[in-house]
Amino acid sequence: MRRLAPIELLLAALCLWAGWYHTPAGALVRTAGAWIFRTHSTARPLLAYYGAGVYQPHAAPPPLLTAPVPPAQALGYGAWATAEHLGTPAALSARIKALAARLDGVDEAAMLALFCGEEPARYALTRAQDEDGSPRLEDLARALPPRSADCIAQASQALAQAGAYALAWPLPESIRITSPFGMREHPVLGIRRLHAGVDLGTAVGTPVRATAAGVVRRASSDGVNGRILVLDHGRGVTTMYCHNDELLVQDGEHVRRGQVISYSGNTGRSSGPHLHYQLDLGGQAVDPLRYRAGHPRISSAGAAD
Ligand SMILES: [Zn+2]
């Protein structure tokens, strides 16, 4: 038997290493090994990649609304939903308005001041304005030290929730909800999973309206969502409209609040004509009805996805 050349040994070692660290089988073996020997494993990210699509429901839904949200108080409601102990939505709204008046009318800076203090917010605003005319929270946050990470995260959450409170509705409110947000038996697949939006049972061809001004991030079609639109409203707020019959806007287009953006339909994986409307805050799906008081919650059998 001839001896293995060093280069062959090296290649064999390389194959073993690649198999161990860069294949799903290797990841499974490492996970099993870590489980048996109770040791830490770095296999999780790879396994998560191959088993993608595991949704976690939102950790802390906002408090229940007792009255409709006046549009002018949306920022106050966003702060209240993030830190209820700070005060009532009306009181917080007044505080944010006063802060904004002292911070060049920049709402982002006012929200930052509420959670991180007025001095840091003013400093961040001065720094950010040197670079750009209209600072976003990300621009302001860059000027603050790492220890501010927690209060910046709260300000960002409050702004996103304020955006959610300010949203309009994509269809007339009289159109019934045929499947609400939450865990459910999937109407087509028959398995239990999170329904990440609300289904509104409506005839094909019903005009669908943008729930806030924004930019079209996606206008396309696939086998699951059918003809789909994704709007980016800024501050971490996006809305999604699925199963449309016809899209009226294109990728990158700016839309106004209330603008007709599509005609509803029955495309993709759907059990009948309806609109799947979804609200994401910071990339996480939330129940849009938690941000609307007194919305008719008529939920019964009907078209869903
Ligand atoms: Zn749906």
Give the Cα separation of 211 and 41 in Å (integer): 44
Number of domains in the chain: 3
Whole domain around residue 236: which residue ranges? 177-291
Least trusted range by pLDDT, from 5-19, 103-117, 196-210: 5-19
Q: Is the domain of 181 the same as that of 281?
A: yes
Query: Would you say residue 62 lies in a domain?
Result: no
Same structural domain for residues 199 and 234? yes
CA trace torsion 196, 202, 207, 209 (10° rounding): -30
Return mean pLDDT, the chain.
Answer: 87
User: CB atoms < 10 A from the CB of 245, how many?
Assistant: 18
Q: What is the pTM of this model?
A: 0.77
**Distance of alpha carbon 250 from the chain centroid:** 21
Residue 223, classed as helix, strand or coil, is coil
Q: Which of 116, 142, 165 is the C-terminal boundary of a domain?
A: 165
Task: Give me ligand 1 centre to Cα 294, in Å.
Answer: 21
CA–centroid distance, residue 206 to ligand 1 (Å): 17
Q: Please report whether residue 254 resides in a domain.
A: yes
Helices then strands, counting H and E runs in the chain, come out as 9, 13
User: Does residue 171 lie within any of the structural domains?
Assistant: no
The pLDDT confidence band at residue 5, using thresholds 50, 70 and 90, is confident
Ligand 1: centre distance to CA 197 (Å): 5
What is the whole-number distance in angstroms between the Cα of residue 285 and the centre of ligand 1? Answer: 12
Question: Is a pLDDT exceeding 50 seen at residue 53?
Answer: no
- Answer whether residue 129 shows pLDDT above 80: no
Q: What per-residue confidence (pLDDT) applies to 41?
A: 39
* CA 152–ligand 1 middle distance (angstroms): 33
CA of 148 to the centre of ligand 1 (A): 38
**What is the distance in A from the centroid of ligand 1 to the CA of 279?**
12
d(CA 208, CA 206): 6
What separation in angstroms does the CA of 64 have from each of 111, 181, 199, 300?
Answer: 22, 15, 21, 22
Residue 262 lies in a domain: yes
Element (H, E) at 102: helix 89-102
The residues pairing with 216 across neighbouring beta strands, listed in sequence order, are: 231
d(CA 168, CA 210): 8
